[in-house]
Structures are given as C-alpha cells and as structure tokens.
C-alpha cells in the first residue's frame, strides 16, 4: 500500500478496510471459450467482463444463470457463481436464487429460442413480477446450437433447414412482449457496437427491478448478416435511431430527420421541409410511467423505420423479493416463527395403522 492510500498491486484501503480492486481478468475463467470463430457472443462476453469490475460488487455476490443454446455456455466463462440449467427455465431457477438471497445480483443469459419458445411463460412472468433479475437475450433470429432451424424471431418467409420453402410463422417482437409484461427496464443494443453495448449492460446492472436487454447478435454460421441492412457502418446513421432520454428522436447523417406522431402512428419527417421544425419531433422519455410511447418505438423496424437502439423504459416500483420478504416478516411478527412438524400434522390429516 502506498503512503497516500492509493492502490498498489490491485489492493486499496478505504476507511481502514482493505479491499481488492477487481479487473476484467478477475472475471475470466480457465475454460476454453467454445463458440464458432467470429460469433457475436465473444463481443457480448467481453463487454460483460469489462463492466463487472466497474460495478464494485464482489464476485461471490454475482450469479449467472442460463438455459440451453449457444448463449447458455456463458456461465462457464464468468468467474462468478453460475448455473447452466434446462431449456427455457433459467428465469425460474434465477427467481429461486434471488428470492432465497436477495443480496445477490442475478443475471439470466438466454437466446431467442430459449426465452421466447419453450421458455416464453417463464420469461414473461419473471418480468411481470418485477423480480430484480438482469436478463440478457441474445437475438440472432435462428436456432444456432441445433444447426439452423427458424426461431420465434425469424422473419416471415425466411428459408432455412426447418422451413425450406420459407417460414409461415409470424415472428415475436421481444420488446413488445417485455412491455406487455410491464418490465421496468427495457433496452436494446448489438454485438458490433461494443461501447454502446457496455453502456447498456451497465445501465441494466444498476437497475433495481425486472430488467431486459435485447442484443442483436450475429450468427455467422447459420444466419450471417441478419442485421447488416441497417447496422453496417456506411448506412447505420440513416437506418438506426439512438435513443437519448429527454432528447428529440432525430437520426440521419445530418440529424435532419426525425420521428413524430400522426395520431397514434409514428411517421418519419424531415426537419426544415413542409414547415417541420425540431419542436415537432417526439421527445424520448424513458421514465414515463406508462409504456405507451416506448411500445410504439419498440415496434419500429427497418425498412419502414430506423431501428431504435438504447433504453426504451426505465421506471421504478417495488420488487417481488422485497415485498415477499415484507410478507414473511409480517407473518412471523404476528404468528411466530412457525413449526413445520406442527403444520404437517394439522388440519385434514389422518394416521394409517
């Protein structure tokens, strides 16, 4: 320890207590990362490992829970506690972890197939209950682990191994589902914008309540280039919309195009044409108590509209685990700690000789 109290060799002292300053390396494991070369999952892993030490949370108080799919190998690569669970049920396991120990920060790692197909019920109810879970959904619009079948987010008409003539399933919009379930934090980012992705992961980590971050993630083996029409460097300024709280929804290389409402319907207008001014452009409010405008933005898709990126909604309300702890405390205070043997042998019970 240096004389002025600054950290040396990763050790610092605050108020007489010695603490270890964590780095990204502290969150890396000795496990071989087994994703296909070029997979977008590498970018997501790197940004999560980058953000973790900045949160000031001990590794022993962080848990990563996953289901089944390429994304679900994530817990192996995070040097924290973790569970690799069963298909679609990660939110259920994570709920148990959080309720049993509310002091833990619990993350759910899932994919578009895992969360929105077999796991849709668990995903929806984890959000509506406002359990303090951090859900990262890797959306590559395909089943990658099982070799290229269409997923719940695959585009209508998409040809693949399970739909050689084109899928006739209408896709789910993950954000719409999150808004309908009243998630208190909803955001979107993508693997090819690491700086933005890190910011969204950090925002999610600091939110108290049900948090959902959809990440557009390229599967370069079975669905390569799914998002290139709007996220390529040459076109993204004109085809993507960066959401900033309290600022007008403008986009384009010259920031001269914007979104306004025509009744309940969004429309693209050009500032300076037809009498349109900046005052006509919709102002983004991520803290609005009702998700109405966020829902409208979440429905906007290319090519009809620019694709919104950022935080759509961030509101606060009591969390499930906090209210549950309150009910338990109230019950103990009025009825005592309870006795399981007495409970099991009370009421409609009988003895068989």
pTM exceeds 0.85 for this model: yes
Residue 44's nearest CA partner among 71, 79, 84 is 71
Domain residues for 177? 11-226+318-330
Is residue 264, in this structure, part of any structural domain at all? Answer: no
Here the CATH number for the domain that contains residue 222 is 3.40.50.970
Residue 221's nearest CA partner among 137, 146, 151, 325 is 146
**For residue 28, which phi and psi values (nearest 5 degrees)?**
-95, 145
Is residue 272, in this structure, part of any structural domain at all? Answer: no
Which pLDDT belongs to residue 20?
67
Chain centroid offset of residue 64 CA: 13
- Contact status, residue 287 vs residue 314, Cβ threshold 8 Å: yes
Number of C-beta neighbours around residue 83 at 10 A: 17
DSSP, res 117: I
Burial class of 136 by CB neighbour count within 10 A (0 to 12, 13 to 18, 19+): buried
Is residue 43, in this structure, part of any structural domain at all? Answer: yes
Count of the separate structural domains present in the chain: 1
The predicted-structure confidence for 290-335, as pLDDT tens digits, reads as follows 999 999 999 999 999 999 999 999 999 999 999 999 999 999 999 8
Which run of H or of E encompasses 310? strand 307-314
- Contact status, residue 86 vs residue 122, Cβ threshold 8 Å: no
The predicted-structure confidence for 148-192, as pLDDT tens digits, reads as follows 999 999 999 999 889 999 999 999 999 999 999 999 999 999 999
List per-residue pLDDT tens for the chain, 353 residues long: 333 333 434 544 444 444 568 999 999 999 999 999 999 999 999 999 999 999 999 999 999 999 999 999 999 999 999 999 999 999 999 999 999 999 999 999 999 999 999 999 999 999 999 999 999 999 999 999 999 999 999 999 999 889 999 999 999 999 999 999 999 999 999 999 999 999 999 999 999 999 999 999 999 999 999 999 999 999 999 999 999 999 999 999 999 999 999 999 999 999 999 999 999 999 999 999 999 999 999 999 999 999 999 999 999 999 999 999 999 999 999 989 888 888 888 888 777 87
What b/e string do you get for 49-78 counting C-beta neighbours within 10 Å, with b at 16 or more? bbbbbeeeeeeeebbbbbbbbbbbbbbebb
Is residue 350, in this structure, part of any structural domain at all? Answer: no
Is residue 233, in this structure, part of any structural domain at all? Answer: no
Is residue 75, in this structure, part of any structural domain at all? Answer: yes
> What span, in angstroms and rounded, lies between the C-alpha atoms of 263 and 63?
45
> What span, in angstroms and rounded, lies between the C-alpha atoms of 70 and 252?
35
Chain centroid offset of residue 101 CA: 21
Is residue 27, in this structure, part of any structural domain at all? Answer: yes
Which CA distances in Å does 268 have to 23, 190, 314, 318?
A: 44, 23, 25, 37
Is residue 161, in this structure, part of any structural domain at all? Answer: yes
Which pLDDT belongs to residue 19?
58
Dihedral, 152, 153, 159, 162 alpha carbons, nearest 10: -20
């Amino acid at each position: 320890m240096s004389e002025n109290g600054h950290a040396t060799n990763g050790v610092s002292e605050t108020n007489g207590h010695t603490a270890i300053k964590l780095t990204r390396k502290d969150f890396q494991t000795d496990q071989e990362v087994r994703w296909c070369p070029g997979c977008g999952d590498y970018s997501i892993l790197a940004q999560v490992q980058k953000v973790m030490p900045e949160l000031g949370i001990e590794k022993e108080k962080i848990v990563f829970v996953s289901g089944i799919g390429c994304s679900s190998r994530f817990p192996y690569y995070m040097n924290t506690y973790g569970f690799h669970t069963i298909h679609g049920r990660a939110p259920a396991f994570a709920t148990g972890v959080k309720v049993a120990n509310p002091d833990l920060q619990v993350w759910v790692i899932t994919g578009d197939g895992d969360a929105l197909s077999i796991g849709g019920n668990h995903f929806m109810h984890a959000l509506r209950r406002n359990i303090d879970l951090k859900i990262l959904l890797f959306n590559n619009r395909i089943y990658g682990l099982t070799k290229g079948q269409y997923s719940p987010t695959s585009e209508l008409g998409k040809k693949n191994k399970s739909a050689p003539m084109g899928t006739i399933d209408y896709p789910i919009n993950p954000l719409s589902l999150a808004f309908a379930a009243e998630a208190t934090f909803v955001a979107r980012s993508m693997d090819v914008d690491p700086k933005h992705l890190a910011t969204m992961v950090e925002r999610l980590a600091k939110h108290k309540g049900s948090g959902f971050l959809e990440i557009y993630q390229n599967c370069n083996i079975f669905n390569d280039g799914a998002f290139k029409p709007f996220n390529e460097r040459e076109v993204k300024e004109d085809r993507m919309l960066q959401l900033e709280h309290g600022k007008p929804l403008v986009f384009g290389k010259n920031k001269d195009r914007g979104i306004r409402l025509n009744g309940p319907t969004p429309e693209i207008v050009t500032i300076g044409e037809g009498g349109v001014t900046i005052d006509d452009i919709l102002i983004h409010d991520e803290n609005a108590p009702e998700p109405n405008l966020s829902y409208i933005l979440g429905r906007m898709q290319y090519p009809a509209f620019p694709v919104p990126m950022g935080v759509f909604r961030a509101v606060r309300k009591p969390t499930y685990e906090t209210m549950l702890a309150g009910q338990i405390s109230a019950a103990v205070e009025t009825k005592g700690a309870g006795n399981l043997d007495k409970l099991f042998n009370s009421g409609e019970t009988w003895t068989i000789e």
